[in-house]
Structure 1
Amino acid sequence: MKTLSPVDQLFLYLEKRQQPMHVAGLQLFSFPEGAGPKYVSELARSIREYSSPEPPFNQRLTRRFGQYQWMEDQQFDMDHHFRHEALPKPGRIRELLSLVSAEHSNLLDRERPLWEAHLIEGIRGRQFALYTKVHHSVVDGISAMRMGMRALSPDPEERDLPPVWAYKPKKR
């Protein structure tokens, strides 16, 4: 078990229903050239194969002597953390933002690792989105951006990169 830093503990103590302490990102993608109509479903299936996350994505909170600590979640459930969803018709950006707004307003479950990812299909113009949410005690905004960029490639031919939770943490 690893004790959280005082700053990370503060994010947990300050969190309230009206004041969530998570960071999130919404990425909008276009289908690759030649992709069939089942592309996003196939992508979701391949992402689900990464069902054993690396730290900190496999860590959940516990309290000991009044302090929060991280411990490995022995009952990790990928279906709770990764969700494949479809927008209602007509699939405009308005419907996407409505879904993301509803998801963003929910606090993360402190009995589980403090993150979730939503792969969202059904967006007009052969587009799909990825909405990710991570508690600020797990990762700060800059680190989250770096993790997200590590899981993407500027090369359109490079595909099948693992999701952020599958990368081994970089040594400091």
Structure 2
Amino acid sequence: MSALSPVDQVFLWLEKRQQPMHVGGLQLFSFPEDAPDDYVAQLADQLREETIVTPPFDRRLGSRFGQPVWVEDEQLDLEHHFRFEALPTPGRVRELLSFVSAEHSHLMDRERPMWEFHLIEGLKDRQFAVYTKVHHSLVDGVSAMRLFQRMLSQDPEQRGMPPIWSLPRRSRSGDGDEGPSMWRNVAHLLGESGKQL
């Protein structure tokens, strides 16, 4: 369990239907040269096998002493978060943007970890897309881009990289296995509150 920073709490407080506080990313990929026609379906099957979900993607909102905290979701349903979808024909960028626009307009379910990963097939010219949606209180846009860089490789021969929800945690020097203590969280919260004031 870890407390949300005051800034992350603001993202929750300000959110309304007309003012969502999630960030999204859309990436367009081409099939590898040697890929079969059902490459994206095979990729979806491969991603479904990655059932270990690592922080922060295994966290949902909870409450402690009236304050929002991140707690581990022990009933996480990966099928809710990872979605394999197909565009309607003719599979142009217009259909892709229409799909992403509709998905991006929905608020995130606060009873679950607030992220989605959409693998999208059906694009013309042997292409596919990945659309991700993450609440800004869970991961900010810059951190999300860094996570995606870790998920991808610049080497076309390096395949089988773990998906964003299953990336191994990077260790920080000086951190113990138990993570930050409650007192450190309280001190951090008070310090951040002072800065906000």
Which range, TM-score by smaller chain? over 0.9
- Does residue 139 of structure 2 align to residue 139 of structure 1? yes
Q: Which has the higher helix share?
A: 2
What residue number does 1:39 align with? Answer: 39
Deviation at 1:170, TM superposition (A): 2.1
The whole-number CA distance in structure 2 between the counterparts of 1:34 and 1:51 is: 27
Paired amino acid for 1:78: L
Q: Which has the larger radius of gyration?
A: 2
Paired amino acid for 1:58: D
SS at match of 2:47: helix
The whole-number CA distance in structure 2 between the counterparts of 1:110 and 1:50 is: 23
SS at match of 1:142: helix
Paired amino acid for 2:15: E
The whole-number CA distance in structure 2 between the counterparts of 1:61 and 1:117 is: 19
Q: How many residues align?
A: 172
Deviation at 1:53, TM superposition (A): 0.5
Deviation at 1:65, TM superposition (A): 2.0
Deviation at 1:34, TM superposition (A): 1.5
The whole-number CA distance in structure 1 between the counterparts of 2:162 and 2:96 is: 24
The whole-number CA distance in structure 2 between the counterparts of 1:119 and 1:111 is: 23
Paired amino acid for 1:5: S
Paired amino acid for 1:131: Y
What residue number does 2:56 align with? Answer: 56
Deviations 1:54-99 (A, max 9, x none): 0110010012222110111011101000000000000000000000
The whole-number CA distance in structure 2 between the counterparts of 1:122 and 1:50 is: 23
What is the alpha-carbon root mean square deviation over aligned residues? 0.8
Deviations 1:16-43 (A, max 9, x none): 1001111110000000011111100000
Paired amino acid for 1:102: A
The whole-number CA distance in structure 1 between the counterparts of 2:108 and 2:88 is: 24
What residue number does 2:84 align with? Answer: 84
Structure 1: 4+ residue segments shifted above 6 A:
none
- Does residue 121 of structure 2 align to residue 124 of structure 1? no
SS at match of 1:75: coil
Deviation at 1:129, TM superposition (A): 0.2
Deviations 1:101-142 (A, max 9, x none): 000001110000010000000000000000001100011111
The whole-number CA distance in structure 2 between the counterparts of 1:141 and 1:117 is: 15
Structure 1 stretches of 5 or more lacking a match?
A: none
SS at match of 1:149: helix
> Normalising by structure 1, what TM-score?
0.98
